[in-house]
């Protein structure tokens, strides 16, 4: 009798597990239908697919290292109107170097469109770096990033730089800024689709680096610790259609000691974030703001939402 009861309990547990799995699958299916079954969702899917194909073609080019190219931002006679406007409006903003850091299993080619857009808007030095595909520790990568920043500052003579990080690149840069004293050298850190609270997708990759990107990891716990002396401005771009940061709301950044500006999108995939026109325009606008007094402003969170791209509540990110 006891054996029969034990078997029934196991069957009940199994049935409950199957029911939960089915419910979750139904939830994911409904989300996918709500997301991709709308014109904005289909646009996002097409953009993600198109950029994936283009990025695969550009990937070999991005494997080579890039030299630092300086432009004379103090002369405006040979600049187009958009660049001339930034240089005349705020020569310090135009002259602050921008360092681009790619994501996991990627290279600097992911910033092909983004880098060109910043240069066309008047930013004098926009430099993309590669780090090893075999990187197995976020902390070590942050130490390497510190060396890149110091080299960029030395070669350009700049006191501070901006960093733009896509996916893992944003997390590496955040660790450098918060835990390695990088706020003294980094004026603004932009993250695009970075899993600030971890991603459940990291459970699919059995590597030490992936374990650091899981919710509740020791690295993420370090980043949640107080950072009262951090003066860097954080600019966070995240999308409710991000297929790599799950749940999508984990790409948001919340920390009581940090000054955060946030752009919320609803119809852009993970890979397409750096090529989305709204992302490019918003980030370029933020980086072009006067930076002289920003460290004396009170800490705050400012959220910019792109309106009416998908129906509210369409994503588990909400």
Per-residue pLDDT of the chain (318 residues; tens, 9 = 90+): 565 555 556 555 555 544 544 554 555 555 555 555 666 667 777 777 876 777 677 667 666 666 666 655 544 545 566 555 554 446 677 789 999 999 998 888 999 999 999 988 889 899 999 988 788 899 999 999 999 999 999 999 999 999 999 999 999 999 999 999 999 999 999 999 999 999 999 999 989 999 999 999 999 999 999 999 999 999 999 999 999 999 999 999 999 999 999 999 999 999 999 999 999 999 999 998 755 444 434 455 667 676 544 443 444 444
Distance CA 170, CA 252 (A): 12
Tell me how far apart the alpha carbons of residues 105 and 134 are, in angstroms, rounded to a whole number. 8
Dihedral angle, C-alpha 254, 135, 106, 316, nearest 10 °: -30
| Lookup: tokens for 88 | 């005349």
- Dihedral, 143, 147, 150, 151 alpha carbons, nearest 10: -160
Which strand (E) or helix (H) includes residue 163? strand 161-166
CA angle 40, 43, 47 (to 5 degrees): 140
DSSP run (H or E) holding 189:
strand 186-192
Place of tokens 């080299």: 151
Rounded Cα distance between 122 and 124, Å, is 6
For 4-15, what is each residue's pLDDT tens digit? 555 556 555 555
Phi, psi of 295 (to 5 degrees): -75, -10
Give me the helix-helix angle, 168-179 and 138-156, nearest 10°: 80
Distance from C-alpha of 182 to C-alpha of 256, rounded to nearest angstrom = 18
Count Cα neighbours of 305 within 13 Å in the Cβ-side half-sphere: 9
Token pair in block for residue 278 = 């709204």
What is the chain's Cα-based Rg? 22
Q: Is there a contact between 186 and 149 (Cβ–Cβ < 8 Å)?
A: yes
Q: pLDDT of 131-143, one tens digit each?
A: 887 888 999 999 9
pTM for the model: 0.79
| Cα gap 233→185, rounded to integer Å | 12
Confirm or reject CATH 3.30.70.1140 for domain 39-305, answering yes or no.
Answer: no
How do residues 189-238 score in pLDDT, each as one tens digit?
999 999 999 999 999 998 999 999 999 999 999 999 999 999 999 999 99
Domain borders along the chain are 39-305
3-state helix, strand, coil in the chain (%, to 5): 50, 15, 40
Measured between alpha carbons, how far is 235 from 279 in angstroms, rounded to an integer?
11
Residues 292, 298, 300, 305, CA torsion sign: negative
Handedness of CA 123, 108, 247, 175 (dihedral sign): negative
Distance CA 235, CA 177 (A): 13
Q: What is the pLDDT of residue 4?
A: 52
């Amino acid at each position: 009798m006891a054996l029969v009861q034990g078997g029934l309990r196991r069957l009940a547990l199994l049935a409950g597990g199957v029911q939960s799995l089915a419910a979750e699958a139904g939830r994911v299916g409904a989300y996918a239908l709500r997301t991709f079954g709308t014109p904005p969702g289909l646009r996002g899917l097409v953009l993600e697919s198109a950029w994936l194909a283009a990025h695969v073609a550009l990937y070999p080019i991005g494997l080579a290292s890039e030299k630092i190219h300086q432009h004379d931002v103090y002369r405006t006679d040979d600049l187009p109107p958009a660049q001339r406007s930034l240089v005349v409006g705020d020569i310090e903003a135009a002259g602050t170097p921008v360092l681009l850091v790619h994501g996991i299993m990627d290279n600097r080619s992911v910033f092909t469109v983004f880098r060109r857009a910043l240069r066309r808007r008047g930013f004098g030095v926009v430099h993309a770096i590669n780090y090893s595909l075999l990187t197995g520790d976020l902390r070590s990568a942050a130490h390497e990033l510190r060396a890149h920043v110091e080299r960029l500052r030395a070669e350009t003579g700049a006191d501070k730089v901006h960093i733009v990080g896509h996916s893992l690149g944003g997390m590496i840069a955040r660790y450098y800024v918060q835990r390695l004293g990088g706020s003294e050298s980094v004026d603004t850190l932009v993250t695009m689709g970075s899993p600030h609270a971890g991603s459940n997708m990291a459970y699919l990759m059995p590597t030490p680096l992936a374990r650091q990107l899981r919710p509740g990891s020791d690295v993420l716990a370090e980043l949640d610790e107080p950072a009262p002396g951090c003066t860097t401005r954080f600019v966070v771009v995240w999308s409710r259609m991000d297929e790599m940061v799950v749940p999508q709301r984990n790409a948001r950044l919340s920390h009581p000691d940090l000054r955060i500006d946030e752009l919320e999108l609803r119809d852009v995939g993970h890979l397409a974030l750096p090529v989305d026109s709204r992302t490019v325009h918003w980030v370029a606008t933020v980086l072009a703001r006067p930076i002289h007094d920003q460290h004396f402003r009170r800490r705050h969170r400012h959220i910019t939402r792109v309106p009416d791209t998908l129906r509210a509540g369409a994503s588990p990110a909400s």
